[in-house]
Structure 1
Amino acid sequence: MTSTQKVSDQKAFDALLRTRLAAFTRKTFATVDPGTPYSHNWHVDLIAEYLEACTRREIKRLIINIPPRYLKSISVTVAWPAWLLGLNPAERILASSYAHSLSLKHSTDCRLVVKSDWYRRIFPNVQLVGDQDTKEKFVTTERGMRYATSVAGSVIGEGGNYLIVDDPHSAAGALSDVQRKTACTWFDQAFATRLNDKANGVIVVVMQRLHAEDLTGHLLGKGGWEHLCIPAVAETRTFIDFGRIKLTREAGEPLHSERENLQAIDRQKVELGSYAYAGQYQQRPAPPEGGMFKAGWFQRYERKEEKYLRIVQSWDTAIKASQINDPSCCTTWGERHGGWDLLQVVVRRLEYPDLKSLVVSQATAWQPDAILIEDKASGQQLLQDLRRETQLPIIAINPEADKITRAAACSALVESGRVYLPTHAAWLTDYEMEMMQFPNGAHDDQVDSTTQFLNWMKLSAASQIRIRRL
C-alpha cells in the first residue's frame, strides 16, 4: 500500500469516526480498555442509533435497559459525551451514577478519550482549559464541559444540554424503599431541573432493572419516555427496526452468544436467583414466568386479520392527570374464531375533557362494535356524557369484585392460549411488563382494561349459550 493510499484510508476512517457514533464507540473501547479484545454485536450499533437520534433532538427522553457488562457505560456515558463535544465543543453535559467513584471513573475514561491522539486528530477544535481539567469536570475553550456527579449529589450552579443517568441504583440500594425513593426524588427535583433548555434538552437514563419501582419504573409510569429494552435472552420473536438496524431476534436467542452463551446465562440465573435474574438480565423485575399471568400463555400474531368478527375497546379511566395517579388506558381488541388479538394499547394521563375527546377519537379510528367503560368513579360521568352527546356503542361495566379476583376469573382464557399479542409494537414491552408483574407492579391500568374485556367476553359467551339452550 502506498503512502497516498494510507493517507486516503486514514481520512476515510477519521470521517467515519466523526459521523458514526457506533464506529466511535468501538474506537473508544480500544482506548479505555486496551487489554481486552473487542467483540462486536448489533446491540452496540442499536444503542448508537438511538443516541444519534437524541443528538438530532428526535428523541429527548430515552431509557435504555440492558444487562450488566454489555458496554452500556462505554456507549452512553463515555463515548457519547466525547463525541458530542467533538461535534460541538460548546456542548454542556452532566452525567451521574449511584456512586461518586463510579461517576469519576466514567469521567476519567471520557477525558482519556478526549486527550487521545486520534481524538485530537479528528476533532482538532476541542481544547481543554488547563485550570478546569479535573476528574470531576473538564471544560473546553468554547465553554463546553462534562461534569460528573452522583445520585443525591449536589448539582447547584451546573446546567447541561444533555443529562445522563447511568445506574442510578446499586443492586442492594434498589431493594431499600428509602434509598430507591431518594434516587427517584433526586432525579425529579434536582437532576432533571438542570436542563438549560427545557424544551430541547435531552435526558438519557441507562440501567439494568432492579425493582418494579426503580427509576425506570418511576419514569415509565409518568409516560413520555422512549424505551429501548434489551433482554439477555429474547422471550419472544422480536423484530428490531430502528435507524440503520433491522434484524429479528428469535425466541430463546441470547443477546451476544460470543460473550455470554445460554449456558453462561443459565449459571447467572442460578447464582442471582429468579427475581434478580428477571430484573438485571431480562429487564423485567418479576420472575420471567410472571405472576398471575405467565409469559408463555400469550400467543403471537404476525399481522392483523383483514376482517374481525367484531372490534371491542375497553377503557380503564382516571380523571386526575397527576403523575401519582394511574393513567387512563384503552385496549383495542379484534375478535376472531378461536381468540382475540390485542390491536392497540393507549395509555395517557388526562384531565376529563381530554379523556372524553380521546374516547371519541379512538372510536373514530377503530369503529368498534362495543366500548366498555367501568360504571364507577370517573367512568360514571364519562358514560353519561358520551351517551348524551354521541351515538357510540357504549356499554357500562359494573365490577363486582376486587382487581385480583377479576384477574383470576379470566386468567384461564389467557392460559388456554386464546389471547394474542403482536410480535412487534411500540407499546408491547410496557404492556407485557405490567401484565407479568401484576399484582405486585406499580401500575395496573393495562391489566384492568384487559381483564374488563376478557370477563365481558366470558359473560357474553355464557349468555349466548343460555340463549341457545332456551
Structure 2
Amino acid sequence: MLTVQDIAEQTLCEEDHLYFTRRFFKPRMGFKFMVNWHHVYVAWLIDEVINGNIPNLVINVPPGAGKTELTTNIMPRGLALNPRSRFLYLSYSKSLVEDVSATARNIVKSDDFQHLWPTTISNSTDSKSSWKTKVDGYEAGHIYAASLGGQITGRRAGTLADQGFTGCIILDDPLKPEDAFSKVGRDNANRVILNTVSSRRARSDTPIIMIMQRLHVEDPTHFLMSGNVSGEWQQVAIPALIDDRYIDELPEHIQKLVPRDIERDEKGRQSYWPQKETLKSLLQLERGGTNKEGATVSRYTFSSQYQQAPKKLGGDLIKGEWFGRYKDVPQLVFRAIYVDTAQKVKEENDWSVFTLMGLGVDGKIYILDILRGKWTAPDLNRNAQAFIDKHKVYTPLSRPIRYMKVEDKAHGTQLIQNLGTYGGVPCIPVQRGTDKLSRFMDVQVHLEHDYANNPDDRLVMIPMSAPWIADFLEECEAFNAKMTHDHDDQVDTLIDGIEDMVMTVNYQPPATG
C-alpha cells in the first residue's frame, strides 16, 4: 500500500526526469548526484521528448558532462510510466551499452522502484543487453542494447498498443572518436542511422534521442540536422566555455540557473561547470594539453568535443581512409623508431614524437605505437630510453628494433649525442635536405597506394584501437600545402618511416633462424 508520501514521490518521478535521476542515483552510488544547470537543461529537454513536445532530439555535450547517467534513466522512468515501453539503446561501444542496460535493469529490480511501480522482469530474456517486462503474464516491455554495428534487425522501439510515450531509440556516442577522421567510418555510422535505426521505430512518432560530443563537421549530428533522416529534429549544444551571448539564448528558466559572477577569461568566457572543470583547466586544454584521463587534447579536439564547434580541417593532402586497420600484427621484417623533436618546449610550440613502425612480410607498413609530448632535453632523453625499453623485447614475428632515426637538428642533435646506442638500438642521424611539402609529395603515392582503384589495398596500417589514433588522424587530415596547420610532428615521422621502408619493400624473405 502506497502512503501519501509515496504517491507524491511517485508523481514527481513520473513528471520530472531530473528528480527521477537523483532519486535513484544515491541508493545506487552511495552519494548525491551533483547537479549543475546543464543537467537541469538536458533533463528538461528529455521531459519535453517524453511529453511529446519535441519529436526528435540531438544534444551535444562535452566529455564528462554526465550525459550517460541522464540517458540511462530514460529507460526505467519510461517503464514506470508504461511497463510496455520498448527501447533501443545504441552506441559505438558494446561495453557501454551493456553497462547502461544492466544499470537500467538493476534500477527496475531495486526495492525502491518495485515499491512505487511493481514490475515483473521476464525470466526468459534477462541479460545485460536484452531484457523484458511482463504485463498480465505476457512479455510486453523490452530493453535492447547493442553496438551500432551489432544485430538490431527485428527489434523495435515504441509500441502500437498504447498512446503517449511508449519508448524511444537512444543513440549515445554513435561514432567512435578514432573513426571521426575516416570518411569510411563516418559514412558507416551515418548509413546505419539512416538505413537501420530510423526503420526500427514502431510508429513514425516514436522519438529518437541522440546525445554525443561533436567529432567532425560530417559526424552524425551534422548528418541528422541536414535532413537525412525524416522527422522534425531539435539540436541543443552545450559548450565547455560559455559567455553571456550563449547564456542569453538559453530558455529563460535555465538562464536563471547559470552563475554569471564567476571567473572569466579575457574573452568573457566562463566554465560551464566550474565545480568540475575549472576555467584554468579548460583554457589549458584549449591551448593543447592533456585531460584528466591523460589523453592529448589538441585545439581541433577542444573545438569539436568541448565546444561543439568542429572546424573543417581541409588539408586534403592526407585522407584518413588511406590508412588500413589491423587487429593483429603479422610477421615483420624489421621494426624502427622515427623521431621528430621540437625546437622549443613552450606550450605553443611543436611536440616531440617517437613513432614505432614495422615492415610486414606482406609489404605493408604497420604503425605500432606513438609517443608524443612536450619535453625538456633531459626528459626527451628519458622518454626515448623508456620508449625503447617498452618495445625492445621481440619475438620471431615482431623482429628487433633495427635503429632509431632522428633528425640531426636542435634537440635531435642532443638526443643523438646523448643516446648513442641504447638497449642495442643505435640512434642514427637523419638529414632532411628538402622542404616538408616536397618530402611529403614524394611519399604520397605510396601512402595513397592506388586506394581509389582498390580500397582494400592500403600500404600504411594503423591499429583498430589505440589511444593515439584520433590525434594522429586529425593531424594528418589537417596537414596542408600552405602550412597553416597547427602541428605536423607526427606527419614528419610518418614521412620518414615511409621513405625508409618503401626502399625495403622489394626485399627477399629473410632466412629462418
* TM-score normalised by length of structure 1: 0.56
| Number of the residue aligned with 2:175 | 169
Distance 1:95 1:13, change over 3 A: same
Match of 1:255 in 2: 272
Report the structure number with the largest CA radius of gyration: 2
* Structure 2 residues without counterparts, runs of 5 or longer: 159-167, 261-267, 290-296, 316-477, 479-513
Q: Which residue of 1 aligns with 2:124?
A: 131
Find the residue that maps to 1:160 and give its secondary structure. Answer: coil
- The alignment yields a C-alpha RMSD, in angstroms, of 2.6
Q: Residue 41 of structure 1 corresponds to which residue in structure 2? A: 36
Is 1:67 the counterpart of 2:62? The answer is yes
**Aligned twin of 1:245:** 254
How far apart, CA to CA, are the structure 1 residues paired with 2:250 and 2:63?
23
Check whether the contact 1:49–1:242 (CA below 8 A) recurs between aligned residues.
no
Matched, 1:115 2:109: yes
Does residue 103 of structure 1 match 2:97?
yes
Per-residue deviation at 1:120?
1.2
Q: Are positions 1:185 and 2:191 aligned together?
A: yes
Q: Give the AA of the match of 1:150.
A: S
SS of residue in 1 equivalent to 2:270: coil
Name the residue aligned to 1:208.
213
- Once the two structures are TM-superposed, the CA of residue 247 in structure 1 deviates from its matched residue by 2.9
From the superposition, tell whether residues 23 and 240 of structure 1 become closer, same or farther in structure 2 (CA, over 3 Å).
Answer: farther
Shift in Å at residue 227 of structure 1? 0.7
Note if contact 1:275-1:287 (Cα within 8 Å) is conserved in structure 2: no
8 A Cα contact 2:22 2:32, kept in partner: no
CA deviations on 1:123-144 (whole Å, 9 max, x unpaired) are 12x2211121111111111301
1:28 aligns with 2:53: no
Shift of 1:185: 0.4
Q: CA deviation at 1:240?
A: 5.0
Q: AA paired with 2:269?
A: G
Q: Is 1:195–2:191 an aligned residue pair?
A: no
Corresponding position: 1:90 with 2:115: no
Classify the secondary structure of the residue corresponding to 1:141: strand
Q: 2: distance between equivalents of 1:222 and 1:12?
A: 42
CA gap of 1:90–1:11, structure 2 versus 1, over 3 A, is closer
Change (3 A) 1:103 1:10: same
Deviation at 1:7, TM superposition (A): 6.2
Q: Aligned letter for 1:193?
A: S
> Does structure 1 conserve the Cα–Cα contact (< 8 Å) formed by 2:92 and 2:148?
yes
The one-letter code matched in structure 2 to 1:273 is S
Pair 20,137 (structure 1): closer, same or farther in 2 beyond 3 Å: same
Query: Mapping of 1:375-386 within 5 angstroms?
Result: none
| Matched residue, 1:267 | 284
**Within 2, Cα distance between the matches of 1:214 and 1:203?**
17
Compared with structure 1, are the counterparts of its residues 215 and 196 closer, same or farther at alpha carbon in structure 2 (3 Å cutoff)? Answer: same
Measure, in 2, the Cα distance between the counterparts of 1:97 and 1:279.
19
Note if contact 1:17-1:23 (Cα within 8 Å) is conserved in structure 2.
yes
Compared CA separation, residues 264 and 178, structure 1 to 2 (3 A): same
- Maintained 8 Å contact 1:90/1:144: yes
Distance 1:148 1:278, change over 3 A: same
Distance 1:236 1:176 in 2: 36
Residues 193-239 of structure 1 deviation map (CA, whole Å, 9 limit, x = unaligned): 100001x1100110000111010011112274101111111145222
Deviation at 1:9, TM superposition (A): 4.8
**What code does the residue aligned with 1:218 have?**
F
Looking at structure 2, the residues matched to 74 and 12 of structure 1 have their Cα atoms a distance apart, in angstroms, of 24
Contact 2:91 2:173 (8 Å CA) reproduced? yes
Cα pair distance change 1:28/1:176, threshold 3 Å: farther
Identify if the C-alpha distance between structure 1 residues 113 and 243 changes in structure 2 by more than 3 Å, giving closer, same or farther. farther
Q: Following the alignment from structure 2 to structure 1, what is the Cα–Cα distance between the partners of residues 29 and 212?
A: 21
Q: Once structures 1 and 2 are overlaid, which stretch shifts more, 166-175 or 180-189? A: 166-175
Shift in Å at residue 268 of structure 1?
2.9
How far off its partner does 1:32 sit? 4.5
Do the aligned residues in 1 keep the contact of 2:37 with 2:257 (CA within 8 Å)? no
Separation of aligned partners in 2, 1:32 and 1:214:
34
Determine the structure 2 residue equivalent to 1:153.
150
SS in 1 for 2:210: strand
Moved over 6 A (4+): none
Cα distance in 2 between the residues matched to 1:16 and 1:177: 45
- Identical amino acids, percent of aligned pairs: 28
Q: Which residue does the alignment assign to 1:453?
A: none
